[in-house]
Structure 1
Amino acid sequence: MAASSSYSLQASSSIASPQNQLEKSQLGSFRTRQQHLQRVSAVVKTEISSDTMEVDITLSPRVNSVKPSKTVAITDQATALAQAGVPVIRLAAGEPDFDTPAVIAEENGISYTPDQILVSNGAKQSILQAVLAVCSPGDEVLIPAPFWVSYPEMARLADATPVILPTPISENFLLDPKLLESKLSEKSRLLILCSPSNPTGSVYPRKLLEQIAEIVARHPRLLVLSDEIYEHIIYAPATHTSFASLPGMWDRTLTVNGFSKAFAMTGWRLGYLAGPKHFVAACGKIQSQVHMYTFAKHAFQQSSTSGASSISQKAAVAALGLGYAGGEAVSTMGAFYLFLDFSFYYGSTVDGFGAITGSESLCRYLLDKAQVALVPGDAFGDDTCIRISYAASLDTLQAAFERIKEALVSIKPTVHV
C-alpha cells in the first residue's frame, strides 16, 4: 500500500543527475506536474493496449479546476530524490520521520504498482473522490438497489444523476444484466457494484459478473466502481471475484477497499482506491488539496483531508501481517447484515403507538417497544425490508431476536382478503 499520494506520477523518470534533481525540486516541478495532469488523457492513450483504446478516460472538469498542492508536489519530488540517493532533508510536509512500506498490491488476480493506489481516510472518502473525479455534470451513475445509503448522494454531489436499478429479493438482490443494458445511454458514466453487498449480503457469482462485464465492454464511456470492502466476510460456497480481474475490465475499473470491516478496524479510518494511474492521479489531486469541498447547490459540505493517519497505516501493515483476511485472529469479527422482508406488518396498527406504514415506522416501533435499533430499508432503496447487523456476540443476537419476536406479537396484522 502506498503511503503517499498517487499524485507523484513517474516522479523519478525525468531525473538525470543530482544537480538536475536539486534544481527540479523547486516550484517548477509543481508546474510541470500540473501540465502533466492536463495532458494525462493523451499520455494514457499511448500506454494502454490496443484492445482497450475505446475506453473513455476523460476526467471531470472539476479536476482541472483544483490547483495541485505545492506541499504534495514538493514532497513527492523530494521523495523521488531521496530514493535516487540524493541526501534531501525533507521538512516540507510535516510527516513522521520513518518509512512506510510502499508495496505492490497483488490479490484476487489483479496487481497494482504504488502509483496506481491511493490511500485515503476510509473507503468512503475513496469512493467520493472517485465519483468526483470521473463524473461530470449531467452524467448518470447506475446504482443497483438495495444500495449503500451514500452512493446516490455522492452522485448528486458530483452533479450527476443517480439511476436506480431495482433488484428483487426473489433473485437474491442481484442485478439483472438485461435491466442494466436497458438503462444504459450516452450519459451513463459509472456503474457502482458492491459485492459482497451492503445491505443485502448478496455475493455476485463470477458468471453473472462476466455477463455484466460483456455489457460494460460495449459502452466506451462506462466505468465501474467496484466496492469490495466486504470481500473477506463471505461464507462457502460463495466466492469473491474482483471485477477488475475479468477480461478487459482492469482499464475501466476503480476498485475500493479498506480495513474497517474484515479487520474490525472501524474508527481507524483507512481505505484505498486502486485502478489505472490516470484516474488514481485525478483522485489524488482532489485528495491533496480539497480540505473542505462545498456544494452550495445541495447545501452540503463534505470534509476531506489530504493524508491518511500514519498510525492507521502502521496498524494496517500489522493487520496485513496477520495473514489472509487477518487470519484466525479476526475470523470471528467484522460487520455484516441480514436484509429481511417485514412488509407483512405494514398497514397494521399498534395500541399506544399507531400505524405501521413502512420500514421506518416499524423500526421506530421496535426501538420504542423492544429497545432494538435496526435500519429501515427505505434508506437503502427498498422499503419492504429492514437491515439487521449481526456484528455482535451470539448472546446479544439471541436477546435481540427474542425482543423483536415479542414486539411483533403485539402488532395486529391487516387482514388481506
Structure 2
Amino acid sequence: MEIWSIVYERPDDARTGFGRAVWCLSKVFLQKGAHVSIIYEKFGSKNISSEVVDGIHLYGMSSSGYFLSKRISFYTQALHFIRKCCNMGDAKVFFLHGPFSLPLAKPLKGLGLIAYHTFGTLAYELKCSLPELVRTINLRKIFTYALDIPIETSYLRYVDMIVVPHDMAAQEFQTIYHVNREKILVSPYGQDMYDRFHDVKFFREDFRSKFTGKKIILFVGGSDWNRKGAGYVLYIFSKLSKNMPATLIMTGKPTEQHLKLIRELGLKIGEDIILPGLVDDRTLALLYASCDVFVLPSLHEGFSQPVIEVMAYGKPVIVSPLAAYPTVEDRSEGFVISPEKIDSYVYALQKILTDKQLYMSMSKKAKLKAQKYSWNTIGSNLFEIFHKHFQNKG
C-alpha cells in the first residue's frame, strides 16, 4: 500500500501538535509495511527537495507569489509530482491533512482512497474564535477563514473518508455540512513525548532552579494564540501573581495585541512571563517535566495534543471544555472551566498549587489517563481501516 500525505509544514521537525501527529502516524504506517511519502510546502528554492528520513520519503514543493498564488503553485507541483511518481496498480491512500491540502481531493478523485484528516469544521472553529479575533483585530486570520471555509464547503464532496479525533468533531461535520456519519472515522490522537524524552527528568531541577520559590504555569499556544485563549491566560496570571509567586511560560507565536496586553497588565517579559517561541520537541518535553500545572482555555480544539502530552508527565491541567474533551474529566485529572470564567481559573490554580493531596491525586490520574493514548495503537487501527477498504473494494 502507498500512503501519500499532503500537509502544510514539514512534519519531522514540526513545532505544532498537528505536524507531530502526521509524523507519528507516518512512522506507524511504515512499520505496518506501507510505502509512505509526505509532500509539504517549502520556501526558498524553486526546485523540489527530496529526502528520506527514518524510511519515510519527504518531498518539499516550492511555492511562489502571495497567498492565493502560492497555494496554486503548490497544488500544481504536488499534483504533477504525485501523478508522475505513483506506481500504477498499487493500492493508494491520499491522506490530506488540514484544509490547506483539501483542494487536491478533486483532481486526485479516482486514483485511490482520499482521506481528509482534520480537527473539526472551520465554520464552527470560526464561530468560537470570532469574538477574540475581532477584539485583537486579527484581520489576517479572519481573511484566512474567509478563504478556507468555502474551500472546505466545496471540496468535502470529493473525499471518501473524514478522519476526526472525537465524536464532537464528527457531529460538527454532520450538523454543518450534513455529512453521512458512515463517512466519518473517529481516530483520537496519541502521545509519545514521555517515552521519547524521559531523560529530560535529569535536567528538570536545573531548569526549575532558575525560578526558585515560584510555581511554574505552562501554556502551549503554537501559532494560534487567539484560538488557544492566550488573552484569558494573561488575565488569569495577572490576578494569580498578585497572591502567589509564579512564572508563566507561554510557547508559540504571540501577536502584537498579546504583547500589548502584557505591558498593559504590568507584567514583565523575562521575569513574570517567559516567551520561548515555537520550541522543538525536546524543549517542550523539558517544559512538560518542569512545570507545576498546565493551563489551556481554548475557544476551539479538535484534540489538544499538548494536554495529553503534559498529562503523561503527571501534571494536572486546567482547561476549557473544548480542550478537555475527551481526555479530561472535571476534578479528576484537573479542572474543566469555561474560558471566560477568569476568577474560577484563578481559584482552581490556587487550589491545585496549595493542596498537596489534591495535586498528587490529579497527577496520578493524569498519568494513568495518558497511558491509554498510544500512537502505535491508534496508527495501527487507522492502517487496518485503510487496508480493509481495499479488501472490500477488491
The answer to whether the superposition gives a TM-score over 0.5 is: no
Whose radius of gyration is greater, 1 or 2?
Answer: 1
Q: Which has the higher contact order (CA 8 A, sep 6+)?
A: 1
Q: Which has the higher helix share?
A: 2
Q: TM-score normalised to the size of structure 2?
A: 0.30
TM-score, normalisation: structure 1: 0.28
